[in-house]
Structures are given as structure tokens and as C-alpha cells.
Amino acid sequence: MNILVVDDDASQRLYIKMQLERLGHQVCSVDRGDAVLKAIEENAISVAICDLEMPEMDGLTLVRLIRERNWGRYIYVLMLTGRDQIQDYVAGLDAGADDFMSKPANMAVLTVRLNAARRLLEYDRELNARNLRLSEAQDRIEEDLKAAEQAQRAVLPNKEKKIGQVMARSVFLPCSYVAGDIFNYFQIDNGGVGFYAADVSGHGVRAALLAVALGYVLTPSMFSSLSRDEGEGWRPDRLVDELNRRFGPISEMTGYFTIVCGVIDPQRRSLALCQAGHPPLLRWSKSGVTETINCNGLPVAVFPEATYEAVQLTFEPGDRLLIFSDGVSEAADTNDEAFGEERVMSIFSEGDMLSSAKILPKLIDQLEDWVGRNEPKADDISAICFEFEEGTDD
């Protein structure tokens, strides 16, 4: 070991140095406390043997200075004293010393105590090496999660997108790098606007993997082919039936999910919906009436025999539709009170005073105030606002 001997008594300093060198240690010595820090740094010292009483800087002050510095390793401090007073031992240990010995130093006892110091330092080096490996592994995991976050965001649509006569706006705030929320909106056959919003059970990577899988499966062509019914208009329930069939067999590994999907048909001025375990939707009409749409069914990938139904509603120019995940309504304040669907409705009902472009920003602003702007989110937050814009039909 690299050992530093600090003692203003030249004979004691030389005696201890010679004895330690015979034991195979690398030893340097100084006679003043103010030279210790430089000696530790230049000689990679791991053990410091310090006299308690020295001029200019006593041993207690020296130990405190050693402990204040971050050396990147542990420095074991053994303090020597010519006095046999319990208060010296207490003061030294309180200052940060690891052990005490009486002067003059007994080499047999010193050897045993240095062996104890070696064991502690070896454990410290092993612990630091493990912490370094853990830190490197954590850095790699964070890099992978950041890449996964970018991949997931790439699946999402633009935050603001005009699709024919329908303006779609959205917000996405994951509680971690990746999220179990996924949504999309796109043009489908005959001028229709297809959309879905899903929320996978749980959090973290497993939920995000299923969410991204849904994003890749639910393409506009698949959505259109499964939802289109020439005789009855749009049937998004058929799409949900197919998702339940596909994902049910692997639900034990991936988990289940809630979903709401549908088609806004500007030509028919209709809205076809299928809701499977997802929170209620809100519709605001140009007349100023806000209503809750709750045609809920079972979550997807829970029961293989589950069946789903579609509802057909009118959707006139000027109408708006709000879809949100339970991360919005269930967001809790410091008293564990949920934000609640009523507050969401209150904001959405301000359609006469708020343009559709301001609804989601106001919702998120009030949600941040409710939860606390610097507080971590307990769940992913996502929402979509659609508006059937008035004007000439395409």
C-alpha cells in the first residue's frame, strides 16, 4: 500500500517509515499538516498515519481536510496519540479518523491494523469498480431509452394536421422516456378521417413496445379495409375485434390495452366510434352543448370471446371532439385528488370563447398547475382534439 506518515517528531517519523518499508509498503513522510494534501495527491496515498498533536495544523483539522476532498478513492486514516484520553478518541473518530493507536507505535499492532485497512480498501476498490460498471450500464440503458423515445415519437402524427375539412391537434407527454400511449389520425377511403388512441397497461419499456407494435400494425390501409362497410358506413368495431384476436394470445407477455377508434366522415357528416375500456370522449357542438360519449366495452387482449360495438353519431361543421387518456383525468395533486373528467369538460366547454387551437394548451397548463410543474407525472398524458371546420366541402 502507499502510506503517508505525518509526524513532527523526526525520530518517530523515520522509525515508522523504515518499519513499514520492510513490510513491503511504499512510504513517504511529511512533518507538517499543510503538506499532507499535496503528498496524498502526488503519491496516490491510500493510508495516512497522522499524529494527533502537531504545530500549525493538528491532526483533527488535517483529518477534516482529507474528508472534505473528493479523491476518487477512500483514504484510510490511522491517528496516533501520546495521550490516553477517551475524549481524544471520540474527537478523532468524529472528525473522520478510522482508527487510533497510542504512541510509540507498536509494529505488531500496527501491522494488524494495516491488514484491516487493506481489507477495507480492497472492498472499497471493488465497490467503486462495481459502481463504475453500473454507471456505464445505466448510461447505455439511457442512450437506448432515448433512441426508443425517438423511435416512438416517429410513429406519432404531426401535432397539428389538416385532413380535408378536419383539423387534428394533439399533445403527448410521456411520464418517462417511452410511453404506453399511442395514437394517430390519417386520411382513409372516400375522404374519411380515421383515428385511434390506445393506452397499454403498465409503464416502461414493455408497455412502450406494445404501443409501438400497435402503431405499426394500425396502418391507414389496414384501418380502412377493416373499418369500411359499403352497406352500413363505417364499422370501427371490426377493427377492434381483429386487434383482440391478434393480441389476445400474447397478452400474458405484453399486457392488455384500452383503445378508442373511429372515423369522421365529412361527406356524411357522421362520426363512427368504437370504445374499448378507454375514458369517455367529449363532443362540443356549434350550438354550445358539450356532451360525454361513453359507449364503453372491454379492454383489448383480455377476453378472447369479447365482442365490440360501434356507435354512429352526427358530426356537423363547427363540431369538436376531444379524446384523452386516463393520465389526464387521473393526474393527482399533492393531496392525491384526481384532476377529474369534470375539469376536462369545463375547459372543453369553453368552445365559444376558446379556439380549438387553444384548448389543448389550456388543458395542459391547468393540468401542470394541478399536479405541480416540477413534479414527475405518474402516468403518460395524451390527448387529441378534432374540429370539423366550416367551409366549402371538398
267-279: pLDDT as tens digits: 999 999 999 999 9
Top mean-pLDDT range of 14-23, 109-118, 151-160, 381-390: 381-390
Cell of 258: 384500452
C-alpha span between 207 and 382 (Å, rounded): 15
| Closest by CA position to 99, among listed 122, 118, 125 | 118
C-alpha span between 56 and 72 (Å, rounded): 27
Q: Give per-residue burial for 79-90: e unless 16+ CB within 10 Å, then b.
A: bbbeeeeeebbe
Q: What is the pLDDT of residue 232?
A: 64
Cell of 144: 437506448
Q: Could you tell me the pLDDT band of residue 394, with boundaries at 50, 70 and 90? A: very low
Q: What is the pLDDT of residue 238?
A: 93
Cell of 155: 410513429
Q: DSSP for 310-378?
A: -EEEE--TT-EEEEE-HHHHT-B-TT--B--HHHHHHHHTGGGTS-HHHHHHHHHHHHHHHH-TTSPPS
Whether 393 shows a pLDDT value over 60: the answer reads no
C-alpha span between 251 and 97 (Å, rounded): 58
CB under 8 Å to 132, separation ≥6 — which residues? none
Phi, psi (degrees; rounded to nearest 5) at 67: -70, -25
Q: What is the pLDDT of residue 108?
A: 87
Cell of 96: 473522520
Q: Could you tell me the pLDDT band of residue 249, with boundaries at 50, 70 and 90? A: confident
C-alpha span between 116 and 217 (Å, rounded): 62
Whether 290 shows a pLDDT value over 70: the answer reads yes
Phi, psi (degrees; rounded to nearest 5) at 201: -65, 145
Delineate the domains of the chain, giving CATH numbers in brackets.
2-129 (3.40.50.2300), 156-388 (3.60.40.10)
201-215: pLDDT as tens digits: 877 788 888 888 888
Cell of 307: 365482442
C-alpha span between 330 and 25 (Å, rounded): 64
User: How crowded is the C-beta side of 82, counted as CA atoms within 13 Å?
Assistant: 8
C-alpha span between 260 and 199 (Å, rounded): 9
Q: What is the pLDDT of residue 231?
A: 65
